[in-house]
Structure 1
């Protein structure tokens, strides 16, 4: 595992992106952890669940915590796909991209409803994870 992502499994768009990431992760470099798991706080006491619900959190194999689009960019880089996403970290684009991401994260349920017809996930959004 090179990157552990702490995501909101109740968000249809968030779950869809995690599903896409795992589909492109044949070497199992990315581990996914749903913030809504009943034992989340016990297993990851160093992650503030409330804060992680406002901005995507990730943790590298060396224990470095990443936030927001830094997580997204690292994850897609590990899959070797969607190289264009790295453009979001360029100095000229980064500020606007981060601001836009924070607005998306704040309104993700409303945006999910507009795009998918579903504001929150039911059991169909569960992502099968492989544990090592």
Structure 2
């Protein structure tokens, strides 16, 4: 992204993912809603078609959209969401051209493994129990 970002950035994340939920907790603690909006794609009232992206695409790769409509995905979505929360110094290595291919490989591996990590403790365990009913973790595809 070469131009000045058009805030806010809307980050679409999977709230059922324990690791993702931990990262979102951190971002939420630091973010200003004028710069970062967080949308949980795992909620029943979220409909992917309303934003023009399929649910599987959102689940397979992190997506974020700036106020001007420009999309960023994967590592770039991570980079810009952390910048929006004022934590950009922690993601500086994502901008290093020599390291970027290796980080992309790591990100793709994480995306493939993520469905198998749902056994990890969720930071908001009560969130999994809705309407006095608890549902077991989803089975990986």
Query: TM class by shorter-chain length?
Result: 0.7 to 0.9
Deviations 1:11-36 (A, max 9, x none): 01101101100100135421111111
Counterpart pick for 1:74 among 56, 71, 80? 80
Contact 2:18 2:117 in 1 (8 A): no
Matched, 1:96 2:102: yes
Deviation at 1:95, TM superposition (A): 1.1
Query: Secondary structure, in 3 states, of the residue corresponding to 2:99?
Result: helix
Deviation at 1:112, TM superposition (A): 5.5
Counterpart pick for 1:107 among 106, 113, 125? 113
Q: With structure 2 as the length reference, what TM-score do the two structures score?
A: 0.74
CA RMSD, aligned part only? 2.4
Deviations 1:82-105 (A, max 9, x none): 413122122111111111011112
Which runs of 5 or more structure 1 residues have no equivalent in the other structure? 126-132
Q: Which has the higher helix share?
A: 1
- In the other structure, the counterpart of 1:13 is 19
For 1:43 and 1:33, how far apart are their aligned partners in 2? 14
Contact 2:65 2:71 in 1 (8 A): yes
Deviation at 1:123, TM superposition (A): 3.1
Distance 1:33 1:87, change over 3 A: same
Which runs of 5 or more structure 2 residues have no equivalent in the other structure? 1-6, 129-141
- In the other structure, the counterpart of 1:25 is 31
Q: With structure 1 as the length reference, what TM-score do the two structures score?
A: 0.78
Greater RCO structure (CA 8 Å; 6+ sep): 1
